[in-house]
Structure 1
Amino acid sequence: MTFSVTHDLILRGARVIDPSQDFDGVADVAFANGKVSGFGPDLPAGPGTEIRDVAGAIVTPGLIDLHTHVYWGGTSLGIDPDDYCRRSGVTTSVDTGSAGPGNWPGFRAHIIERAEARVLAYLHVSFAGIFGFSRTIMVGESADIRLMAPAEAAKVADANRDLIVGIKVRVGLHASGDQGTKPLDAALQVAEEVGMPLMAHIDHPPPSYEEVLAMLRPGDVLTHCFRPFPNAPCTAQGTVKRAVREARERGVLFDVGHGMGSFAFKTARAMLAQGFAPDTISSDVHQLCVDGPAFDQVTTMSKFLCMGMPLDDVIRRSTVNAAMALKRPEYGSLKPGSLGDATVLTVRDGEFDYEDTVGERMTGTRRIVSEGVVLKGRWLHAAEGSAFGRQVAAAS
């Protein structure tokens, strides 16, 4: 399928996995004017078309990491979104609450608008977002109810709908102390007021996993969904809790959000064995886990691949499913007319060491590796040492 335009760029001859089209096969993908302009076999090149040879690699829609922290320099936990794009093949980083209404203008002006990679955001209901998160200082921003700023958050979210996709709140012993569900109450009021979904973080009780789920609405996201005990989604016997299944039935979405303390192999194995896969796979990458145990999006994806999830399902949860959670169907797809983002991947065989957030290690036999990125319709880079993306002579 192709538009009647001259393509600016063609990725030639890869295995293309695009769950948004239920497609898995060899095809070319073309780009023009910052969007996907063609999809199919042997797409014609015009004068000046840039052709990149990616035969032997896998091309997917640009990866979406639904849970990141990329307010670099503005918060102690932020990483650089462009560096992350090059590292992990993530073309869209969704920052989840690094900024609140009090520091949103700086995040927008100094990071989002200057980055090459796409950045969207859930706005924190806390006035200053996640402001005290480091190896030496750890202050739960939701523990002081005076910092909840629903009126200001609603105003900022409504005025920045081009970039803000939802409202974020963190509840749990570490994030909200003894406040229980009070911060969640405030965040839900904002989400209702502006007509946006909410993403809720959960750590140790209080509140309980079940209490948080009971308050979430269809389309809201529970992140850290495969937490270790306490506040795990399954019983000690490995059975998925009834409240978890009931929440999914009414449309609550479950996101991995690996991070530094929120993902356990034991929980994941139990949930997958019971047929309960996450809706989205995300890294929760930040300064305290970018060097392990989360590392990045492709490492998090690799863990699920090594636990038996089929490759196309892993990619689905990092592309089209994330786009649907964002309510932005132009993301996460290689259909002509979609955003001009693509990620070039390979899957390597061998013995690879993976670690969860409680210290359990797993030796996996496969690893997903980012080989290159197309961003906004142009070839951005090939990973260092990559054999893919060699430029082929353009048509004359």
Structure 2
Amino acid sequence: MGPDLILKGGRVIDPSQGIDTVTDVAFSNGAVSRIADDIAPGNAEVRDVSGKIVTPGIIDLHTHVYWGGTSLGVDPEMFARDSAVTTMIDTGSAGPGNFAGFRKHVIEPAEPRILAYLHVSFAGIYGFHTSLMVGESHDWRLMAPRLAAEVIEANRDVIVGVKVRIGRHASGPSGIDPLIVALDVAREMDLPVMCHIDEPPPSYEAVVAMLREGDVLTHCYRPFPNSPVDPDGTIRPEVLKARDRGVYFDIGHGMGSFSWKTAKAMMAAGFPPDTISSDVHAFCINGPAYDQLMTMTKFLHLGMPLTEVIERSTAVPAKALQRPELGTFGPGNVGDASIVSVVEGEFELADVRGLVETGTQKLKAEGVVLAGRWWHGE
């Protein structure tokens, strides 16, 4: 039986298999079926993607897509089209008190894949707005470990971990204690934690010191205060220890968590992020983060090779999610693909402090394949 869809003549970059060559990709029955030159079309739909880059479906490990259910949510399908993203991980928009609505009204109707880190706070991130900011981890009464465990058990197909937000803005007087609760839930349910860090207290070092192998520290390139590097560019020892024991360091750009100064220091010190993510939400989608491709573009500007930028947006997040069927064109795996191009020119690239660098390349969305069918693009 022949393929259903063939992407013909693109530059196929699949870091999970060490592939970077001009070739064809075929999909059958919702899965990847073959990578080869000049695949015979038979009765398949054929899309000419010559001159474009074809990657396994891009994964954005940090998004907020509980559209309509929280003030910071964005429309997941719009975001997927604009950013060539096939899998979005919502990171704590919903907690155990409102996850059922998130699942029914957003996750299930959406065509792109949405997975979630469940917030350990009862209502998730409920007070995030430009005119009002209530850190959900401030109030100890909202910590809901038993309910979180129940909701995780009932939704293991879409819940991939536990989210908690720590810092002066997010946890305030509760300090680091909500992380203790989140870790307790994660151990009980055998899942990783994703931990947000903002301004101190507590310190960046205190937070990463508690994270385990497989846990994710997001906002890893945040600016001072609570930057991972000292003023002389030296990476703080607890950060290095955390990487050594297998903690994932995720970008989570957002509106407050990507600094050119920090990024340049970390890259110069040989500490690239494990995963590149946008932390897209309603208050950064129009800048400075914009979307996943813009965040990836900033790493091209920092000198990271394109293949590595793609790896940190496909294969590595799939590993962090413990979803080996994602982020790869291995035959039989999920038939998702992202088609992008590299546009040459001059582009303003802003960090969260308003510092603007001028880039000479920019990644642009050209098409999306979901479950082996052409979903979006010309």
- Residue 296 of structure 2 corresponds to 301
Q: TM-score, normalised by structure 1?
A: 0.95
Identity of aligned residues (%): 63
Counterpart Cα distance in 2 of 1:319 and 1:253: 14
1:46 to 37, 42, 57: 42
Distance in 1 (CA, whole Å) between partners of 2:345 and 2:6 is 31
Quote how far apart the aligned CAs of 1:132 are.
Answer: 0.6
1:105 equivalenced with 2:100 (yes/no): yes
Q: Is the 8 A contact 1:172 1:207 kept in 2?
A: yes
- 1:254 is aligned to 2:236: no
- Alignment map for 1:349-364 (pairs within 5 Å): 349-364=344-359
Determine if the alignment matches structure 1 residue 330 to structure 2 residue 333. no
Check if 1:79 corresponds to 2:83.
no
How many Å apart are 1:136 and its aligned residue? 1.1
Aligned residue identity for 1:289: C
TM-score scaled by structure 2?
A: 0.99
Tell me how far 1:45 sits from its aligned partner.
1.9
Partner secondary structure for residue 173 of structure 1: coil
Structure 2: how far apart are the matches of 1:339 and 1:217? Answer: 29
Amino acid paired to 1:293? P
One-letter amino acid matched to 2:274:
D
Decide which of 228, 235, 242 is 2:237's aligned counterpart: 242
RMSD: 0.7
- 85, 105, 108: which is aligned to 1:90? 85
Question: What is the deviation of 1:44?
Answer: 1.9
Is 1:231 aligned to 2:188, yes or no? no
Deviation at 1:143, TM superposition (A): 0.3
Q: Find the aligned partners of 2:169 and 2:353 in 1 and give their Cα distance.
A: 16
Q: Which residue of 2 aligns with 1:26?
A: 22
**Shift of residue 46, structure 1, vs aligned partner:** 1.8
Deviations 1:15-45 (A, max 9, x none): 0000000110011011111111111111122
What residue identity is the alignment partner of 1:166?
A: G
Name the SS for the 1:82 alignment partner: helix
Give the residue type in structure 2 aligned to 1:103: N
Distance apart, 1:178 and its partner CA: 1.8
Q: Following TM superposition, where does structure 1 have runs of at least 4 consecutive aligned residues deviating by more than 3 angstroms?
A: none
1:6 aligns to 2:11 (yes or no): no
CA contact under 8 A between 1:262 and 1:357: conserved in structure 2? yes
Identify the residue that residue 137 of structure 2 maps to in structure 1: 142
Match of 1:158, SS state, is helix
Report matched runs for 1:246-395 at 5 Å.
Answer: 246-382=241-377
SS in 2 for 1:21: coil
Counterparts of 1:174 and 1:33 in 2: how far apart (Å)?
47
Q: Deviations over 1:355-392 (max 9, x none)?
A: 0001110001110111111011100111xxxxxx5xxx
- Kindly indicate whether the alpha-carbon contact (under 8 Å) linking 1:198 and 1:221 is maintained by their aligned counterparts in 2: yes
Residue equivalent to 1:67: 62
Matched residue, 1:392: none
Runs of at least 5 residues in structure 2 that lack an aligned partner in the other structure: none
Q: Distance in 1 between matches of 2:149 and 2:346?
A: 49
Aligned pair count? 378
Q: Hey, what does 2:128 align to over in structure 1? A: 133
| AA at the equivalent of 1:199 | M
SS in 2 for 1:238: coil
Q: SS at the partner of 1:38?
A: strand
Question: Matched residue of 2:16: which SS?
Answer: helix
| CA displacement at 1:271 relative to structure 2 | 0.3
